[in-house]
């Protein structure tokens, strides 16, 4: 064994080990204090000066035992969420890049990548993840499925005090887990680093095109989940003939950017918000509406972005002029419950209200779009309301306003969405995990450590104990 280890070290000739100096910082190995004793007690790993190359992680590990074992969780949502945190090829590349890392996958038949595809990439597939220190998933984990003492990185949907996940958070605390949330992975400016918003925008905008085809009996586009890939989606736009209608797009974040990209790929010309209001066109156009187009301050003062973000209740909706010229609304903006809705139900019966289709990508039930009274699914994507009475009716009738409100849009192009998502994990998350938890990015994303709610989220401790 020692001979093998010696030969391995000799083979790493391009590396050298730095002698210890006063400037050398020694510490316990990655995850020692969070994920259990993965290193012989009392030993330390020395972090050299940045300018010096060091032996790879594999030098410090027994050849048969990885320093870090990461597991990919199966999903438990119904209907099934088929996205993954890492694709087979990404798992393979990570293990090649980090000799001290092993990635394993919990067996699951509903993933967008099969168990066989992971095995063919050299990734072990198993029935339990008890030997892993870190577990990566997508959606929430049922409380009874939480493995005590492990570190989880998921979309927990707990920081806004979502009542349906209170029991899950309590279980993470009771079982002495570490919980990190993708939504809380932010840079120093507070901007999110990872998410599926772009793909929600892409899929949601495609559904808007599907609805246009049905409403104006112009064409018949397949739903995204029937096409299977982004490339297949775009191929259907080559012969697309859109009616001369106007589209209003809200949102400039990841969701809005994804929708914006899709509309351009469909060959739809973009115009300014002012031109959308003032001009008529013999072809399909769209305009992107910013907060300053959608809201105005109470009392008639000019729109103030800083005040709006601090106190959305200080504003009134200014969407009415666009609702009188646009035929389609693609809603991709973030909405705060303190802000006014874009429009109210009573406005639908105004003869000047011209919107007939709404792709509500944000899908806030009873939120910025009052017609989004529930989430829909890919099997039954659409709601419809009679314009005169406001009562539910059959979609795509002559006197209906039709709404798409699918709650999990990225799940319809799961491989494309997972590839993008996994690449950010590879670039931003895994390197920091391999260095340990004592870095600002992971600390900002950590809701609880070893069952203790962290100071930044102390309000959650009061919530689960209430």
pLDDT digits (tens, 9 = 90+) for 162-217: 999 999 999 999 999 999 999 999 999 888 999 999 999 999 999 999 999 999 99
Which pTM does this prediction carry?
0.83
Q: Tell which residue, 198, 206, 241, has the closest CA to residue 225.
A: 206
User: Predicted confidence band at 53 (pLDDT cuts at 50, 70, 90)?
Assistant: very low
Give the least confident one: 120-124, 255-259, 302-306, 348-352.
302-306
Contact predicate 330/208, CB 8 Å? yes
User: Predicted confidence band at 14 (pLDDT cuts at 50, 70, 90)?
Assistant: very low
Task: Enumerate domains of the chain plus CATH numbers.
Answer: 68-177+414-464 (3.40.50.720), 197-412 (3.40.50.720)
Is the pLDDT score of 15 beyond 50?
no
Is the pLDDT score of 266 beyond 80?
yes
Average pLDDT, the chain: 87
What is the percent of the chain with per-residue pLDDT over 70, rounded to a whole number?
A: 86
Q: Tell me, what's the pLDDT at 437? A: 66
Q: Tell me, what's the pLDDT at 299? A: 85
User: Predicted confidence band at 113 (pLDDT cuts at 50, 70, 90)?
Assistant: very high
Contact predicate 442/217, CB 8 Å? no
Task: Find the angle CA(141)-CA(146)-CA(149) to the nearest 5 degrees.
Answer: 135
On the question of a cis peptide bond just before residue 385, with omega within 30 degrees of 0, the verdict is no
Contact predicate 94/138, CB 8 Å? no
Local structure of residue 42 (DSSP, 8 states): T
Q: Tell which residue, 391, 290, 277, has the closest CA to residue 323.
A: 277
Local structure of residue 265 (DSSP, 8 states): H
User: Predicted confidence band at 65 (pLDDT cuts at 50, 70, 90)?
Assistant: low
- Half-sphere exposure at residue 116, Cβ-oriented, CA atoms within 13 angstroms: 0
DSSP three-state, residue 360: strand
């Amino acid at each position: 064994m020692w001979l093998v280890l010696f030969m391995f070290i000799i083979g790493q000739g391009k590396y050298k080990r730095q002698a210890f100096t006063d400037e050398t910082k020694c510490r316990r190995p990655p995850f020692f204090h969070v994920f259990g004793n993965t290193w012989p007690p009392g030993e330390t790993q020395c972090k050299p000066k940045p300018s010096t190359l060091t032996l790879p992680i594999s030098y410090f590990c027994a050849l048969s035992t990885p320093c870090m074992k990461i597991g990919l969780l199966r999903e438990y949502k119904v209907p099934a969420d088929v996205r993954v945190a890492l694709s087979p090829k990404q798992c393979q590349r990570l293990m090649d890049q980090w000799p001290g890392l092993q990635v394993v996958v919990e067996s699951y038949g509903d993933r967008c990548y099969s168990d066989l595809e992971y095995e063919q990439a050299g990734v072990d597939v198993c029935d339990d993840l008890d030997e892993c220190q870190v577990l990566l998933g997508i959606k929430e984990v049922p409380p009874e499925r939480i493995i005590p003492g492990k570190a989880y990185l998921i979309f927990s949907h707990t920081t806004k005090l979502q009542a349906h996940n209170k029991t899950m958070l309590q279980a993470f605390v009771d079982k002495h887990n570490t919980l990190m949330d993708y939504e809380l992975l932010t840079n120093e400016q507070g901007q999110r680093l990872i998410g599926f918003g772009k793909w929600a925008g892409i899929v949601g905008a495609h559904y808007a095109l599907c609805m246009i085809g049905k409403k104006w009996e112009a064409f018949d586009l397949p739903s995204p989940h029937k096409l299977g890939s982004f490339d297949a989606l775009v191929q259907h736009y080559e012969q697309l003939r859109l009616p001369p209608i106007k589209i209003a797009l809200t949102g400039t974040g990841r969701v809005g950017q994804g929708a914006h990209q899709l509309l351009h790929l469909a060959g739809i010309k973009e115009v300014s918000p002012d031109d959308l209001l003032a001009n008529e066109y013999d072809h399909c156009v769209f305009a992107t509406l910013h907060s300053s187009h959608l809201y105005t301050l109470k009392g008639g003062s000019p729109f103030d972005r800083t005040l709006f973000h601090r106190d959305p209740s200080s504003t009134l909706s200014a969407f009415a002029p666009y609702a009188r010229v646009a035929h389609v609304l693609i809603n991709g903006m973030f909405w705060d419950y303190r802000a006014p809705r874009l429009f109210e139900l009573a406005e639908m019966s105004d003869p000047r209200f011209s919107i007939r289709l709404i792709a509500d990508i944000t899908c806030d039930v009873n939120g910025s779009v009052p017609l989004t009274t529930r989430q829909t699914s890919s099997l039954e994507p659409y709601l419809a309301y009679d314009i005169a009475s406001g009562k539910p009716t059959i979609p795509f009738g002559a006197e209906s306003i039709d709404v798409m409100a699918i709650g999990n849009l990225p799940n319809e192009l799961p491989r494309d969405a997972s590839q993008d998502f996994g690449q950010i994990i590879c670039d931003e998350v895994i390197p920091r995990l391999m260095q340990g938890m004592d870095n600002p990015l992971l600390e900002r994303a950590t809701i609880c450590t070893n069952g203790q709610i962290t100071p930044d989220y102390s309000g959650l401790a009061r919530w689960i104990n209430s």
